[in-house]
Amino acid sequence: LFVRKMKMLDYYGDLNNDANLRRLLTDILNEPDVKRRFPGLEIDVDAFISQMDERTYPELVRRFYAEWAYLKGADRWGGKTPDYSVYTAELLQLFPDAKFVHIIRDGRDVALSLFRLDWGAKSPIVAAKHWKERVEAACNFGRKLDDSQYLEIRYEHLVQFPEEIFENLIHFLDWEDDRYKIIDQFNRGIVGKVRRDNFNKWKTQMSRRHIRLFEQVAGKLLQNLNYKTIFSDEEISQPLTKTQLAVDYLENILRKLLMGQGFKGLFVRSGKWMRKSIVKLRFLLNSTSKALRIN
């Protein structure tokens, strides 16, 4: 959401202008994603703007999340979505002092999870491409950063040794003042809920055909991350045929339609396109109006 808006800042003009800043914030607050992801958050636009330390987009985003953190009784905030991995450069530009935590999970287990999610891929090739693109992007970005700014965690280690991994995370985040209190709260409230065997499910729940297709797309990355592939290097190196790609594409579409997500996804994408088009059209009309006044 905030990255998408960042890419459209030119259409809002100088944010030192109250009207431009108010229009940008109002558009953000009217986004369906905001109402869904931040339930209960109510922001008075004028009060919000008056409390901004500077009239910049990064400050707007910081202030927004500060409001959300306050509502939740938290003194730190962060965002969590795999899609951030393809926008890491933009996020670093927004927040130069940000810390990035990259949780890597066996892509075949990720595929199983995607199959069950409303918005997720419904076929192995689409799922493999989804996983490969995001993991490679995050690794290529993060491994160039200093260790104090980027941390990789293996999902399999996290669920098996949550106490140890959480302590490492607290240290990485420089959360030392009330370190022991936070760790104690985690151990008492969270650890018992962790499903420590929640990995390698693909071995029993994924068909050999799906595994092979996934490994043909992302097998090399699995191996580079020390996940074992069940098919040989020769087999996973074979390029996908046009028939395999066509069948997988149809499988993805049909499963989404059967789950009622095909038309829903089209509706959501259409809504985003419409909102983006309205912003651009408004900018064009304002620019034209100014030009006419000058002439």
**Is 185 part of any domain?**
yes
Query: Which residue, of 197, 224, 240, is where some domain finishes?
Result: 240
Q: Are residues 40 and 87 in the same domain?
A: no
Q: Do both 207 and 65 map to the same domain?
A: no
246 located within any domain: no
User: Do residues 91 and 235 share a domain?
Assistant: yes
The reported pLDDT for the residue numbered 3 is 84
- 121-138: average pLDDT: 96
pLDDT of 80 strictly over 90: no
Is the pLDDT score of 151 beyond 90?
yes
Q: Examine the fold and report which residue of 19, 46, 77 is the final residue of a domain before the chain moves on.
A: 77
- Per-residue pLDDT at 261 exceeds 60: no
What span, in angstroms and rounded, lies between the C-alpha atoms of 101 and 151?
5
Tell me the percentage of the chain whose pLDDT exceeds 70.
88
Residue 173: which residues within 8 A CB-CB, separation 6 or more?
Answer: 76, 99
* Residue 31, beta-bridge partner list: none
The answer to whether residues 19 and 3 belong to one domain is yes
Tell me what pLDDT residue 266 has.
47
Q: Is the pLDDT of residue 126 over 60?
A: yes
Task: Say whether 176 sits in a helix, a strand or coil.
Answer: coil
pLDDT tens across 167-192, in order? 999 999 988 778 888 888 888 888 88
Residue ending a domain, choose from 25, 52, 77: 77
Range of lowest pLDDT (143-147, 166-170, 215-219, 279-283)? 279-283
Same domain, 96 and 233: yes
187 domain residue, yes or no: yes
The answer to whether residue 292 scores a pLDDT higher than 50 is no
17 and 61 belong to one structural domain:
yes
Instruction: Clarify whether residues 108 and 206 are in a common domain.
Output: yes
Number of domains in the chain: 2
Task: Please indicate, yes or no, whether residues 205 and 111 belong to a single structural domain of this protein.
Answer: yes
**Of 138-152, 179-193, 207-221, minimum mean pLDDT range:** 179-193
Same domain, yes or no: 122 and 222: yes
Quote the pLDDT of residue 36: 87
Q: Does the pLDDT value for residue 164 go beyond 70?
A: yes
Average the pLDDT over 141-157 and give the result. 97
State the sign of the Cα–Cα–Cα–Cα dihedral 129, 131, 134, 136: negative
285 inside domain: no
Residues 106 and 52 in one domain: no
pLDDT of 288 > 70? The answer is no
Q: What is the mean pLDDT of the chain?
A: 88
Q: What is the pLDDT of residue 83?
A: 84
Task: Choose between 268 and 114: higher pLDDT.
Answer: 114
Which domain, by its residues, includes 128? 80-240
Location of structure tokens 């690794």: 139
Angle at 181 between CA 179 and CA 182, to 5 degrees: 65
pLDDT value at residue 177: 77
Q: Based on the domain organization, do 123 and 227 belong to the same domain? A: yes
